[in-house]
Structure 1
Amino acid sequence: MNLASEAGVATKIHRMADRVRWGHPELARRGIDPCRLAIEGDPGSPEAFSFLVLGDSGTGLHRRDSPQRRVAEQLLAHGADARFLLHTGDVVYQVGSSEQYPDNFIRPYREWIVGGEDWRRLRYDQLVFRVPFLPVLGNHDYYDLPLPLGLLAGLTAPPRRLLRAWLDLDVGWHGSYVGQAWARAFLDGLGAVPEADLEDHLARTRTATVDGARCLLYRPGRFTRLPHRHYTFRWAGVDVFALDSNTFNHPLPAGADDGELQRRRERLDAERSDLLRSLSPLTSDEDARDDRATLAEQIDEQIRDIDKQLASSASARAGRKPPVDEAQLDWVADALIASWRNPAVRGRMLVLHHPPYVTEVSKWDQGQTLAVRAQLRRVLDRVAAALGDLPAGRPLLDLAFSGHAHCLELLDTGDTGHSDAHIPWAICGGSGYSLRRQRPEGPELLEGPPGAQRVVARSRLFLGRSGRGAALRRAYSALRVEVAAGTPLQFTLTPLVAEKAEGRWRHEAFDPILLPSTGPG
């Protein structure tokens, strides 16, 4: 049995829309941009600044010595001048439950939260951040427990709490309720505001104006809420676009590969059964539990991805298209076009959970990875067509961030044949949960039919799980990004790494990596 169930795309969109009163006439009447965020203190000029990136962090498996906390300490050591933190999703494992927020989120990041010195008293739905903490939704933030497993988890909760040093599934007794916990932790939940109070609430919170539209004002230390599950903000002349990739990652139909997919699924089922039979349920070795969780989750993810591909094929045979959040994709296309045409903007960055390019062993060829690649290409091709020669040799995005793959990877797209060419990607998904290896096929990603394949992306750095046995190394990570003043954007990326090897922790120092955004030339 999978530890998680997942709602469909339409359900995710509808539930999140209800939580922010999407389309409410009062927003339009007041000229409010429902997806725009303004952060108090934005200098509004093209000055230098730095920020931090982390992702796939929210684990509760490690009780004695938390990798997540080790990475959080690295962030603190490098975060004195950070203007904001981007989180690439999977804030809480395994199923995004509200009861997991105290241990899996609030406790490890307590220094970033007002009142964090007494973190046990903080409520997950009333958090105020000292420095802007800006997440996107990961798949685990949307997950729920299947009903039988939820009932079992509730009945066994007391003994599991007593035995959690030996046996811990990292689940509570319920799931996220289709992202409800994430929404209550981070969104300005207009759906919970009584109709009679809505006008006053909007007057108090939508006090900023950006590009002629009113929008939500994020005030560090006082009011730190996001406007919607996908949103944009600007800092020092740089536009950042945050997307919810969970609603446009549905795999495309597998077509003639259905038979091979089904056989692969059967092999994975057998592998999972062998794993469950061979492993003792009781162990006090956290590394052994981490290894078990890594392999079990990797198999479950692969099975879930295959099931989605097979479902897409069945829908295609019935004449139905895969579900896609066209409204969100239209929004980001229009927002990118407007950003490029705005002389006040000197650069653009993107953050979303699912990577379109990655060389991590379990994600590089998943149906969801390829679907996100196809959807982003469609968006960026539309943007390029609208702009004509406006980018003048620069990529449409100066830098992009993803998570989902449990590693830190820096790669560059090449000549893809689409408008996602020459974009640098940072995969930041190794900030605390089980790490993965790089695929044995190596750092180059190919596309095209056999005999006519071309390189579309190339990895320049990969940190995750490496070595075996006594030589096993686990490199948990985050990223510091420095943005230089002026145009075009110049970045300095510094990996922040806490590595565990031979039972010992060390903070590995990496040389800064320069990213001149000069495009293909």
Structure 2
Amino acid sequence: MEFVSDPPIDVKIRKMKERVRWQEPPLVKRGIDQTRMVIQDGAAEDGEFSFLVIGDSGSGAHGGDNPQRRVAQLMLQQGGGCRFVLHTGDVIYLVGSSEYYLQNFIQPYQEFLVGGEDPKRIDSDRMIFKLPFLPVPGNHDYYDLPIVYGVLAQATWPLRRLLRSKIDLDIGWHGSFQGKAYAKAFLDYLLAFNNEGELSRHLDSHYTASTDTGRCLVYQPGRFTKLPNRYYTFRYGGIDFFALDSNTFNAPAPLPHTKEGDNYRRELNQLKNDLEREKLEILEASAKLNPDSPEDAEQLDDLRAKLEQIDEVTIDIEKQLVANDKTTTDFEQLEWLRQRLIESWHTKEVRGRVVYFHHPPYVTEATKWHQAQTLAVRHRIRWVLDKVAKDVGNLAQDRPIVDLLLSGHAHCLEYLRTGNTGYADSNLNWIVCGGSGHSLRRQRTEGPELMETFRDGEKQVSVKVADSLLFVGRNGQGLQKRRPYSCLRIDVFDGCPPKFVVRPLIAELSQRKWSDRQLDPFTVLNAEANPIRSGLTQ
């Protein structure tokens, strides 16, 4: 039995549009741009500023350890002067349920919330942030739970406690209801207004900023901290930030109806069956281990990580098997990104661009680098950048279309730089920030160079497209295992093009002891890739 289910893309799009009352008459009448917001903190015009980045954080305490809380404390210690927090998705594990917002989000980040001194009194749909918290949805924020499993999970809870199993997957009675919990927590949930009068008063109170694309939402730290939509843009310090929902353009291409395609389908189905058997073996093995034993506790942690990886791989297989010519891709969002990037390049006061979303197009984490969803997102982002580059032309003056791309999904911290891919995603800086709390993953054994297969006439040619310059993830074995959980502080300096100094912050668990460490900062430049020293320093 599968632990989670992922709603179809067309359902995700439709449900999220309903929740923000997408382009309904009261909003159209007022000329409101539902994809834009202004952060009203009195400092948005400063040319130099800093911000924090986290991702894949939304797990609770396991075995007495709470990595997410340790990372949050590190953010408080090292985040002085930061203007906002970007979150690359997967706010709540395992299935985005509102049941888990208290322990998996509100309590870990209580200092960032108004009223956080008493977190149990904060409802997930009424959170107000002292410091802007700007997430994008991850796949787990959309997941749902089969009803039969929700009942089973609760019914067997006493048994799990009796066995003291550490394979507690943060599962309650229900899932996210197709992203509803995320929408109510972070988006301006306009569907909640029962009459047009209430809606009109709300719009006239909170959508008051005037921009070149119309009126838009005003984000007020400490007062009103909702986002306008699942994807959106804002400008800060002359930098345009674009937040995307990659869950709606990650569908793999359909498998061909050829002999090769049929053979691959059989291989995928066989792999799916093998994974199901492996899952049952893991559950049986976990019941035999003693969590009070350090060695057994390490094994339980490994088994829990493997169980989650199996579900992720299974979902990726299913997406490949069901993909067909009718599978939805969110071209409305991709076209929006294309248009807004072009407009950004034609706006004189904009000096840089940052795009962030959940699924990484380039990554060397062992379970994600070769997934069909990874390649799908790579191709969709590449498609957008190609179109923007063609339109912008010489205006870019050899600068890349985007200065920095941030993502999550892979449970690690990684900095990659693309080489000459033959497309407009060449020579770009990509940072994966997905190691902020959930089970960490290792780097693939194939090494730091990413290859991609292209068709050259009748032949297929394998070409290096990216290098991994820094990877921070699970490493070591047994009692020598190290788990370096991570977040980022990024300092933006004045000038055009802008300079980004990236400071990786590490909260490491090793041999049941925590230590806070920092990696050497590195500068993201739009020239040649920078050499990085990857050793940990105090």
Shorter-chain TM-score above 0.5: yes
Aligned position for 1:473: 482
* Preserved contact between residue 289 and residue 300 of structure 2 (Cα < 8 Å): no
Asked whether 1:295 is paired with 2:306, we answer yes
Aligned position for 1:358: 363
Aligned position for 2:438: 433
Q: CA deviation at 1:265?
A: 2.6
Asked whether 1:268 is paired with 2:279, we answer no
* Preserved contact between residue 414 and residue 471 of structure 2 (Cα < 8 Å): yes
Alignment of 1:205-284 (within 5 A): 205-211=206-212, 213-255=214-256, 256=261, 257-280=264-287, 283-284=290-291
Q: Which amino acid aligns with 1:396?
A: I
* Preserved contact between residue 37 and residue 216 of structure 2 (Cα < 8 Å): yes
Report Cα offsets for 1:63-88 as digits up to 9, x if no partner: 52211111111111111211000000
302-311 or 152-161, which moves further after superposition? 152-161
Q: CA deviation at 1:436?
A: 0.4
Shift of the 283–227 alpha-carbon distance from structure 1 to 2, 3 Å rule, reads farther
Report Cα offsets for 1:361-406 as digits up to 9, x if no partner: 0000001000001111111111111112221111111001100000
Shift of the 168–448 alpha-carbon distance from structure 1 to 2, 3 Å rule, reads closer
Q: Which amino acid aligns with 1:394?
A: R
TM-score by length of 1: 0.95
* Preserved contact between residue 393 and residue 518 of structure 1 (Cα < 8 Å): no
Q: Secondary structure at the match of 1:456?
A: strand
Aligned position for 2:91: 91
Q: Secondary structure at the match of 1:389?
A: helix
The whole-number CA distance in structure 1 between the counterparts of 2:266 and 2:291 is 42
Aligned position for 1:306: 317
Q: Which amino acid aligns with 2:207?
A: R
Report Cα offsets for 1:450-484 as digits up to 9, x if no partner: 87321111100101111112321111100110111
Q: Secondary structure at the match of 1:144?
A: coil
The whole-number CA distance in structure 2 between the counterparts of 1:245 and 1:70 is 28
The whole-number CA distance in structure 1 between the counterparts of 2:327 and 2:31 is 34
Q: Secondary structure at the match of 2:120?
A: helix
The whole-number CA distance in structure 1 between the counterparts of 2:491 and 2:219 is 22
Shift of the 347–155 alpha-carbon distance from structure 1 to 2, 3 Å rule, reads same
The whole-number CA distance in structure 1 between the counterparts of 2:439 and 2:523 is 28
The whole-number CA distance in structure 1 between the counterparts of 2:326 and 2:167 is 42
Shift of the 282–467 alpha-carbon distance from structure 1 to 2, 3 Å rule, reads closer
Shift of the 337–471 alpha-carbon distance from structure 1 to 2, 3 Å rule, reads same
Q: CA deviation at 1:266?
A: 3.2
Q: CA deviation at 1:23?
A: 1.4
The whole-number CA distance in structure 2 between the counterparts of 1:281 and 1:37 is 53
Residue ranges of structure 2 left out of the alignment (5+ in a row) = 531-538
The whole-number CA distance in structure 2 between the counterparts of 1:161 and 1:11 is 36
Alignment of 1:5-24 (within 5 A): 5-24=5-24
Q: Secondary structure at the match of 1:374?
A: helix
Alignment of 1:91-490 (within 5 A): 91-156=91-156, 168-194=168-194, 195-211=196-212, 213-255=214-256, 256=261, 257-280=264-287, 283-284=290-291, 287-312=298-323, 315=324, 320-448=325-453, 452-490=461-499
The whole-number CA distance in structure 1 between the counterparts of 2:465 and 2:62 is 38
Shift of the 167–263 alpha-carbon distance from structure 1 to 2, 3 Å rule, reads closer
Q: What is the root-mean-square deviation in Å for CA atoms of aligned residues?
A: 2.0
Q: Which amino acid aligns with 1:296?
A: L
Asked whether 1:79 is paired with 2:79, we answer yes
Shift of the 85–151 alpha-carbon distance from structure 1 to 2, 3 Å rule, reads same
Report Cα offsets for 1:142-197 as digits up to 9, x if no partner: 01101211222344567768987756231111110001111111111111112221
The whole-number CA distance in structure 2 between the counterparts of 1:90 and 1:164 is 26
* Preserved contact between residue 409 and residue 434 of structure 2 (Cα < 8 Å): yes
The whole-number CA distance in structure 1 between the counterparts of 2:289 and 2:178 is 32
Q: Secondary structure at the match of 2:396?
A: coil
Shift of the 43–343 alpha-carbon distance from structure 1 to 2, 3 Å rule, reads farther
Shift of the 129–63 alpha-carbon distance from structure 1 to 2, 3 Å rule, reads farther
* Preserved contact between residue 41 and residue 221 of structure 2 (Cα < 8 Å): no
280-289 or 295-304, which moves further after superposition? 280-289
Q: Which amino acid aligns with 2:399?
A: R
Shift of the 167–277 alpha-carbon distance from structure 1 to 2, 3 Å rule, reads closer
Shift of the 168–217 alpha-carbon distance from structure 1 to 2, 3 Å rule, reads same
The whole-number CA distance in structure 2 between the counterparts of 1:461 and 1:167 is 30
Q: CA deviation at 1:442?
A: 0.5
Q: Secondary structure at the match of 2:436?
A: coil
Question: Could you tell me the percent identity over the aligned residues?
Answer: 51
499-508 or 39-48, which moves further after superposition? 39-48
